Amino acid sequence: MKTFILSLIVAFSLVIGSASARSIDADNLDFQAGIYAHTGKNVWVHINRQSASGVVISIKNSEGLVIFRQAVQAHQLVVKKYDLTAFPSGEYTVEVKHAENVVSQVVSLK
């Protein structure tokens, strides 16, 4: 049931349209990630992991300083929503890192 709900969330977030998306090499089945910036100040991070090691999600300001960091133990599909309404206007980089794999997306907040 939990997998079904997560699948619905993923499908819904993709259907309503993303302003931008970035994902890692689809041939790497051990780690896949996507960063989706939606209208407003919401960012969705989707992680698909097949092994048990951790993933780190970071948000950096325009100067490259990490202003948010979260370690995630991702097993199979993990979907995280980040509400950036408390952040001032500007450009931020959302980064998903696992071992040597890095996915990043610049998000502009207005």
Does position 5 have pLDDT exceeding 60, yes or no?
A: no
The CA-CA-CA angle for residues 91, 95, 101, to 5°, reads 145
Please write the tens of the pLDDT for every residue from 31-72: 788 898 877 788 999 888 766 568 899 999 999 999 999 998
The pLDDT of residue 98 is 85
pTM of the predicted model, to two decimals? 0.69
Tell the residue number behind the tokens 């300083």, with chain if given. Answer: 65
Please write the tens of the pLDDT for every residue from 66-106: 999 999 876 678 888 999 999 999 999 999 988 888 899 99
Domains, the chain, ordered by start: 2-109 (2.60.40.3080)
Does position 28 have pLDDT exceeding 60, yes or no?
A: no
